[in-house]
C-alpha cells in the first residue's frame, strides 16, 4: 500500500549550487507512486521513516531525463509567439494551450532562433537533502483521486 509522505528538501546541482528548497516554506506532501514527484526521488524515499534525514542522488534518467538533441530546433524568429526583444536564456510557452511545451532560447543567429524543448534540468544528476516530516496511510479519497490531499489528508478541494 502506498503511503503519503511529507518532507522538506534542498535540491542541489552537481556543483553543489542550491537549485530549489522548501526551507522556510511548507514541506512537500505526495502519494507514493502517483507521479507527484520525480520517479528517482519517489523510489529512494519509499521506505524512509518519519524523522529520517538523507542525502539522495537521482540520476538524470530518473529525474528529468537525458538531454534529447531532437528537442533542439532552429526556427525562424517570425514564427515565434513572442513580441519584443528575445534574449538567450528566455523561456516561453509555444502556444496558448496550458499543456503547450516550454522552450528555452539557446542561440539567436540572424533571423533564426535555436530553441531547446528539454526540461532545464534534463541531463543533470540531482542531489536532494531531505528530511521526512511525516508518513501516514492514504485516505480512500486520496487513493481514488491518485494524489495526496495535504499533510492531513483534508485539502478541501473538489474533483
Q: What residues does each domain of the chain span? A: 4-64+122-145, 69-116
pLDDT at 80: 87
Band (156; pLDDT cuts 50, 70, 90): low
pLDDT at 159: 53
pLDDT at 66: 97
Residue 95, pLDDT above cutoff 60:
yes
Q: How far is CA 91 from the centre of its chain?
A: 16
pLDDT at 96: 83
Residue 138, pLDDT above cutoff 70:
yes
Long-range own/partner contacts, residues 153-157 (CB < 8 A, 24 or more apart): 153/4
Residue 75 to residues 42, 106, 128: CA-CA distances in angstroms? Answer: 37, 11, 36
CATH number of the domain located at residue range(s) 4-64+122-145 in this protein: 3.10.50.40
Q: Using one digit for the tens of pLDDT, what is the confidence trace for 5-18?
A: 999 999 998 999 99
Q: What is the rounded distance in angstroms from the CA atom of residue 59 to the CA atom of residue 8?
A: 20
Residue 154, pLDDT above cutoff 80:
no
Band (84; pLDDT cuts 50, 70, 90): confident
Protein fold of 69-116: Thrombin, subunit H (2.40.10)
Amino acid at each position: 500500500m502506498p503511503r503519503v509522505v511529507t518532507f522538506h528538501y534542498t535540491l542541489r546541482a552537481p556543483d553543489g549550487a542550491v537549485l530549489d528548497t522548501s526551507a522556510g516554506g511548507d514541506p512537500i506532501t505526495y502519494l507514493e507512486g502517483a507521479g507527484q514527484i520525480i520517479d528517482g526521488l519517489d523510489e529512494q524515499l519509499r521506505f524512509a521513516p518519519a524523522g529520517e534525514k538523507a542525502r539522495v542522488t537521482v540520476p538524470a534518467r530518473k529525474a528529468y531525463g537525458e538531454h534529447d538533441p531532437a528537442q533542439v530546433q532552429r526556427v525562424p524568429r517570425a514564427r515565434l509567439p513572442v513580441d519584443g526583444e528575445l534574449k538567450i536564456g528566455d523561456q516561453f510557452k509555444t502556444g496558448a494551450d496550458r499543456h503547450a511545451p516550454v522552450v528555452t532560447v539557446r542561440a539567436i543567429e540572424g533571423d533564426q532562433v535555436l530553441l531547446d524543448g528539454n526540461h532545464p534540468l534534463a541531463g543533470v544528476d540531482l542531489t536532494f537533502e531531505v528530511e521526512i516530516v511525516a508518513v501516514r496511510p492514504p485516505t480512500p479519497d486520496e487513493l481514488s483521486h491518485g494524489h495526496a490531499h495535504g499533510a492531513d489528508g483534508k485539502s478541501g478541494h473538489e474533483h
